[in-house]
Structure formats: structure tokens, C-alpha cells
Structure 1
């Protein structure tokens, strides 16, 4: 799978505690589009993930699709929760209007509500209904392939119109 290029995102969620809301964020590359109508996306997490525990309790999360210049953010949020905690507190982010989860500045984003979950192998797949979305097209997206972060030099080199029949699995 290391030869399959994926986008790099930061998923965020929270848990309400007696001391207030505790936000968490983690680097992911498992974002997938499930349905356009209704708008559904998925993420996959290890079953023993403390991030997943918080997401399942809150029932909400946000996904920020990282721009090319966010390699350091991706690197810092790729570790265990204890290592991520200080970085989460420093993120240039705001709580989403619909989810309450953190949305990173300068990124395209989705706010989601938990629709369903499936335990598959050693992971749990969560399906989210997209509650809100925003796009920041000023920078190409960060991608991950062969164990390293990369930038696509010219993201507009091959623009394809996918609005017609025959795209995204549609029958012609």
C-alpha cells in the first residue's frame, strides 16, 4: 500500500470532561468518499485508538485536508496522544460551527456527524454524514506515498470534468 498515493488530512474530535472540552487531532490518510447524495465520507482507525474512543463518544469530527506547506503539522500530529497534546493546543484552528471539532486554518475541510461504524479486522471504519464543508484552493494538497510526504507540482495539469454521467461509478 506504500505505493498508493493518498491525501494527508488531520482528523479532529473532542471529549467533554468535568474540566471542559478536550480537543484531539491526529494525522490520517484514510479519508474516503462514500456517497454524494447524501454526502457521506469514511475514516479508518485502529480499534485501540483513544482518538476513536473520543470520536465515538462525541459523535462528531472534522477533517482538514492539508495543503502542501503543512508537512510539519502532519508530522507532529502523527504520534500518540501524549505527544500530540501540546501541538493540538498550538494549532491555528477554530471549532467548527456544526461539529465543534477543530478546523485548521488554510485547509479545505469537512465537518461530520457519526452515521455508522463497522469493526473490520483490527480497525474500525466510521461513516460520517457531511454537515458542512469549505474549500481553500490556494495551495496544492499534501500527499503521502513511499513513506514520505510529497507535493504535486502542478495540480491543474489534467483537469477532468466529472459532472457528467460515467464518473464516480455511474452507469452510462
Structure 2
């Protein structure tokens, strides 16, 4: 019997983001955006992040075509937006057109107003299992407005109500897998 990966990973709280990209067409630029919870920080020097998408994802196809994307980290008030952008591509197209967003200065991908954000350029991609992992160079970043964060755990959205209760310095030895 295979391990119950989906059932087990439901207990792992993840941040909720909106990834955006675009495709240039003869009719003009067509933006695309989707809810993701696979954002990973890979390296600080150089600054690299990753996202993971199902191989048949229309969003992934657009991202690979443009080589550019943005990620906006959703605040707790973004639950409904997260739900709408988690739908299939055709169903979310109208929501993408009405996003409270601006094109990023470095990529042209949409950055949500008030959210913490990253703009990325495609560095590499890896087909792994039924997904493709994309790794991006962080070209620009902004902290957004400090506010409670949206997380996903046990199949539901939740709020991290006090995001700045304690400040921890993670730059010293012993953090994030460093050998002491």
C-alpha cells in the first residue's frame, strides 16, 4: 500500500500566495494568476525561490513561455481571492482581469496591492513525478503592508493573527539546517 502523502501533508501548514505570469499573444498580453502554496525559499545568495505546478497546468505553460512571474503573499483577508484563483484556468480568467494589482517593474507580471511580493525570472525547471518545479532568480521584492497572513492546513484557510509577536534572528549559525 502506498504511503498516504496527501493525508499526511494536510497537517503541514503552508502560506497561501497568488502566482502571476502572462503570455504575449497577437491580441496583446494575457495575464494569468493562480493560488499556490508551494512557494519555497531556496537560497539567499543568490536569491532563489521555487514553485511547483502540475505538468498539465495552463499556468505553467504561460510561465514557461514568458520566463517571468510574480508571487504575492496573501494576507488573511485574501481567503475569497484564494478560493476564486484556485479554480481551473477558464473559470478564473475574469477574476484575473479584475485583480487589484499592478504590473511588476522587473517582470510585467501582476503584483497584488498591499501584499508582500517577489518578481522572478526563470532560472531552471525540473520535471519531478507528476509536477514541474520551477526555480527563479528573485529580481525584485517588497515587504508589503504588515498584516495577518493567510495559511492553508487541513484543507481550510486560516489566519496567522499575530505575525510579529516575536522577532527571531535567523542569520546566525544553527538555523535552517546549518551545521554548528
Task: For residue 164 of structure 1, give the secondary structure of its aligned residue in structure 2.
Answer: coil
Residues 75 and 148, structure 2, Cα contact 8 Å, conserved in 1 = yes
**Unpaired segments ≥5 residues, structure 2:** 1-8
Match of 1:82, SS state, is helix
Secondary structure of 2:108's aligned partner: coil
The answer to whether structure 1 residue 5 and structure 2 residue 13 are counterparts is: yes
* Structure-1-length-normalised TM-score: 0.97
Moved more, 31-40 or 146-155: 146-155
Q: C-alpha separation between the residues in 1 aligned to 2:69 and 2:125?
A: 13
The alpha carbon displacement at 1:165 in A equals 1.7
Per the TM alignment, residue 169 of structure 1 is displaced from its structure 2 partner at its CA by 2.1
Structure 2 contact 149–161 (Cα < 8 Å) conserved: no
Give distance in 2, aligned partners of 1:115 and 1:169. Answer: 24
C-alpha deviations, 1:127-160, integer Å up to 9, x for none? 0000000002421210000100000122223432
Gaps of 5+ in 1: none
- Which of 157, 161, 165 matches 1:157? 165
Equivalent residue, structure 1, for 2:91: 83
Give the equivalent residue in structure 2 for 1:121: 129
* Corresponding position of 2:27: 19
Q: Paired residue for 2:108, among 100, 103, 110?
A: 100
Question: 1: CA distance between counterparts of 2:162 and 2:68?
Answer: 34
Equivalence for 2:3: none
The total of aligned residue pairs comes to 172
Give the match for residue 140 of structure 1.
148
Equivalent residue, structure 2, for 1:63:
71
Output the TM-score relative to the length of structure 2: 0.93
Q: Report how far residue 52 of structure 1 moved.
A: 0.3
